[in-house]
Structure formats: C-alpha cells, structure tokens
Amino acid sequence: MTSELQLPGFRFHPTEDELLNFYLKNMVFGKKIHYDIIGLLNIYHHDPWDLPGLSKVGEREWYFFVPRDRKHGSGGRPNRTTEHGFWKATGSDRKIVSLSDPKRIIGLRKTLVFYEGRAPKGMKTDWVMNEYRLPDSCPLPKDIVLCKIYRKATSLKVLEQRAVEEEMKTIQTSPSPPSSFETISFCGQQEDHQLMAPIVSLPHMILKQEQEVIMVEEFLHEKVVKDEKKGSSMSLQLPSGKTELPELQVPKTNTDWSQDPVWTQLSPWLQNLTQNLTPSCANILNF
C-alpha cells in the first residue's frame, strides 16, 4: 500500500459526502477499509505544524481519524488543548447533506482555528481544522471524528502588514546609523588630522633649514675674508669703452608672486628667517 500511495500523480481530494458516508462511517462501525489512507491519531497531543509529517497522505490538506476526548464526562466539551496552544471553534456547526438526497443530513462540520498560548488569551495563527462527525441521531459504536487540517491562504494585505512589522522589528534591533552631524564631525576630524600633519613636522624642517643657513653664513664669511686678503688687485675688467656693467635684461611677466599659494605659506617664515640672519646673508636672500 505504501508503494501505491507514492506513485507519481496520486492525489487524495475526497468530497465531504465521501468523507462522512464512506471513510468516517466505515471507521465508526468497524468496517475495514482495503486502503489505509487515513490514520488514527490524537492530534491534540501535537501542535498543528507537526501534523503534516504524521499524516499518511496529503500535500496541502492532511486527514486524521481522532478519538473524541471528553473533558467533563460523556456530555462535556472535548478537550482541544495542545502543548503550545489550543483549537478554538468559530461559529456554529454546519449541517452536511447528502448529494443524492439534499433533505437527508449525513453529518456536521465544525471549523476551528489554532491559537498559540492559553485561553482566553492567545495569538491567532493561520492553521485551520474542519472536524466532521456523524449526526447525533446516528448510533455510534465508536466516538470518533474525522479531522482535516490545512493552512488558511493568507491575503496580500496581511502579508504586506507582516512584512512591515518584520521590517520595524529589524530597524529597532539593528544599530542606528550615524546622524549627519556625527558624519560631518567625523569627516572634520579626519581633515584636521591631515592638515595638522605637516604643521607637526614644521619645527624639524625649520631647524634643518637654520643649520643650512648657518653653513652658508660660514662659507660666505670665509670667502669675504679671503677676498679682503687679496686686496684690490683683483678688479673687474669691463669691456672697452664701457664704464658701467650692462643692465641685466629680465623678461617681464605678469606673475604676481604674492598670490602664489606656496609663496603665501613660506613668506612669514622667510621674513622671520631674514631677521635672524647676518646682514650679508640677508642681502643675498633678499636679492
């Protein structure tokens, strides 16, 4: 039988008339069915999401024969409580009539919805159960019902609402992104650090340049002393007929060095350096 039920294309979609008049009636009166398609199981010992794996057949609908567990004696309400929730009836029972004889009632159908938690409070789920039982007028050797379990189709509106709720939960649990003020402050700190880097190394550069200037002063001083010792014997030879040196011709440009950004940064340092030099070196730098 197991190999036959696993044949490709096999589907089990009985009508309500077939469920009551054939499957449930034969089970209640003890008539053996050749094909064991619906199993006997107390579904209230399991949560609904575990039932598909316990059913013998079914893809979107799962069927079970369920013994009725009376809560308060034979006339009491059945106990439909599970480990993590309970089944709650919606509305009154609906009468099922025969297809061949519409005036004959063949059974009753009760619709129940599963709630997580404990009554009277609980969170409604999309798990639904149709419980079929024979009419109360029918003598019942066995108090058994037939239950069909399925998941209710969720509307697009409900799916969108769930998606919004999940997104809100994700936003609340995730760390908030930095504000625009924090972003600007952070960027400002990086820029300040980049601008401060050359300033921090500036004293070392000034010290090195002062040492170079001192070396230049010493070299020039030695040269001046040597020239004074030689005397005036070394005179500048001018071309014949010329009493003055020709004027140095420098091409004229419109360049304004005071507007150059590099010169603007170095000008205060050069002025300070010039003040600390000897007159001879200062004249050379100013030239």
Q: Is 235 helix (H, G, I), strand (E, B) or coil?
A: coil
pLDDT at 105: 93
> What are 129's strand-pairing partners?
112, 149
pLDDT at 79: 84
DSSP 176: P
Structural tokens at position 68 = 């009725």
Rounded to 10 degrees, the C-alpha dihedral 273/279/282/284 comes to: -160
pLDDT at 151: 93
CB 112 within 8 A of CB 88: yes
10-residue stretch averages of pLDDT, the chain, 287 residues long: 61 92 92 86 95 91 89 66 94 91 93 93 94 88 92 78 81 65 48 45 56 69 68 52 56 56 62 60 51
* Residues sharing a CB contact under 8 Å with residue 235, sequence separation 6 or more, in sequence order: none
pLDDT at 200: 43
Structural tokens at position 103 = 């005036």
Phi and psi, residue 281, nearest 5°: -70, -35
Strands 61-67 and 39-40: parallel
pLDDT at 68: 82
CA–CA gap between residue 51 and residue 55 (Å, rounded) = 6
Phi and psi, residue 108, nearest 5°: -130, 150
pLDDT at 175: 65
123-136 as b/e, with b when 16 or more CB fall inside 10 Å? eebebbbbbbbbee
Q: Which fold has domain 2-169?
A: 2.170.150
Q: Report whether the peptide linkage leading into residue 203 is cis, meaning its omega lies within 30 degrees of zero.
A: no
Phi and psi, residue 64, nearest 5°: -145, 145
Assessment of whether the complete model's pTM goes beyond 0.75: no
pLDDT at 163: 81
Kindly list the domain boundaries of the chain, sorted by start residue. 2-169
pLDDT at 35: 79
